[in-house]
Amino acid sequence: MRWDGQRVDEDGGTLPGLGLPGLLRTVRTPEFRGVTFHEVAARSALNAVPAASRMPFRWTVNPMRGCLHACTYCFARPTHEYLELDAGRDFETQIVVKTNVVEVLRAELARRSWRREHVALGTNTDPYQRAEGRYALMPGIITALASSGTPLSVLTKGPLLQRDLPLLQAAAKDVPVGVSVSLAVLDPALQKAVEPGTPGPAARLGLVRAVRDAGLECGVLVAPVLPWLTDGEEHLDALLAALAEAGATGVSVLPLHLRGSVKPWFLDWLARDHPHLVERYRTLYGRGAYVPEDYRVWLRARVEPLRRRHGFAPETPFTVAAPAEEAVARASGGGSAGGSGGSARHRTPPAPEGRTGSTGHESVARAAAGRADDLVTAGPQPTLF
């Protein structure tokens, strides 16, 4: 991408807080009004997830830090604080772009020590956020992983993934490929309020259809479910019906969690848009980040008959130590390739009745989005991990 006419500075300095050389230039453009892009030369592309996290993957690649989706609940917001930027507006408007990520990734994948373990994309910020349309980093990332024999998976809210479906189809002939779409709010007005920078529900349902039409499995992460806003039976029934009609091969349902600086940011939004719910949320979450066990049991009971009604497979167990998302966020933000990591896990349980296709990225999506005991699963356990 060439935005030379919009350049703010080019001083070869450091990004505030990083303490590492690599800032190439800072760019603003009318196409992304109010947003500043910090283009950096990354020293590594593969991010090692700590083995102690017990995640179902050991490696991630994140071409950007910060996210234009601006989801009020995003658990990755605190990763911007590592850069001495804030988890609120800075996370949405100060976007760090690793412009050399493809070249660095190719070099790392070519090392003799690389064990071709599964690499997850979309575990921190969305690789198909709107800026990807200009920087076009994902085609090179997909090609580099597939050509090296490395399994990969993608989690996204972005219909821009359709651009790369031919690449994903080709990659799936050589390595396991998983695709998952995140969609939790079916009402367009509420979706635009809580996820102001994301494509609408219809666009994401269209993405599910496009992925299935391309011959790939497509799981859907229904997360986060917002207490008193999207946990009603009517909303969940309509959402699962729409996902079934679109061809989703698995569905995972996860209640909202609010860790660290995400909590005050979300509660500020709630106070503006739904002030009558603020005290309910404070009571429900207390000083913690997660809903209590009785809410999880209640939500699980509500989802179970809806899952059966729309042909999704029964709930399956999923074991990832909590707090999973914190380990992913730290690893994804750090940009250090680290060591060789642990071996990828491969589990192939019996296929339950209902929709039985492997969802590819489903267990990765669930692990990245929250703790294991927050999960309400509608769909088979993936066979990739």
Q: Is 157 helix (H, G, I), strand (E, B) or coil?
A: coil
What is the edge-to-edge ordering of all strands in the sheet holding 119-121?
A: 46-48, 59-61, 119-121, 152-156, 177-182, 219-225, 250-255, 376-378
Closest among 130, 138, 81, 127 to 368, alpha carbons compared: 127
Lowest mean pLDDT segment, chosen from 104-108, 193-197, 255-259, 369-373: 369-373
Report the largest interatomic distance among the alpha carbons of the chain, rounded to a whole angstrom: 59
Q: What per-residue confidence (pLDDT) applies to 192?
A: 97
- CA–CA distances in Å: residue 288 to residues 223, 231, 257, 281, 297: 19, 20, 9, 11, 18
Average pLDDT over residues 227-234: 98
The sign of the torsion formed by the CA atoms of 231, 221, 304, 246 equals positive
For the domain covering 42-378, report its CATH number. 3.80.30.30
Q: What per-residue confidence (pLDDT) applies to 368?
A: 53
- 22-48 tens-digit pLDDT: 889 999 999 999 999 999 999 999 999
Average pLDDT over residues 9-16: 50
Whether cis (ω within 30° of 0) applies to the bond prior to 127 is: no
Structure tokens at 385: 């991990």
DSSP state of 233: H
- 334-364 tens-digit pLDDT: 443 333 333 332 222 233 344 543 344 555 5
Buried b (16+ CB within 10 A) or exposed e, 56-83: bbbbbbbbbbbbbbbbbbbbbbbbbbeb
Measured in whole angstroms, the distance separating CA 228 from the mean position of its chain's CA atoms is 24
Average pLDDT over residues 157-162: 98
What is the edge-to-edge ordering of all strands in the sheet holding 94-98?
A: 7-9, 23-27, 36-40, 94-98, 64-65
Residue 45 to residue 337: CA distance in whole angstroms: 7
- Give the helix/strand (H/E) hosting 178: strand 177-182
User: 12 exposed, middle or buried (CB, 10 Å; 0-12, 13-18, 19+)?
Assistant: exposed
On whether the CB atoms of residues 354 and 310 are closer than 8 A, the answer is: no
Domain boundaries, the chain: 42-378
Residue 313 to residue 122: CA distance in whole angstroms: 25
Residue 156 to residue 170: CA distance in whole angstroms: 19
- 51-109 tens-digit pLDDT: 887 678 899 999 999 999 999 999 999 999 888 899 999 999 999 999 999 999 999 99
Within 10 angstroms of residue 135's Cβ, the number of other Cβ atoms is: 17
Task: Please tell me the total number of residues recorded for the chain in this structure.
Answer: 385
- 243-277 tens-digit pLDDT: 999 999 999 999 999 999 999 999 999 999 999 99
Q: Is 9 helix (H, G, I), strand (E, B) or coil?
A: strand
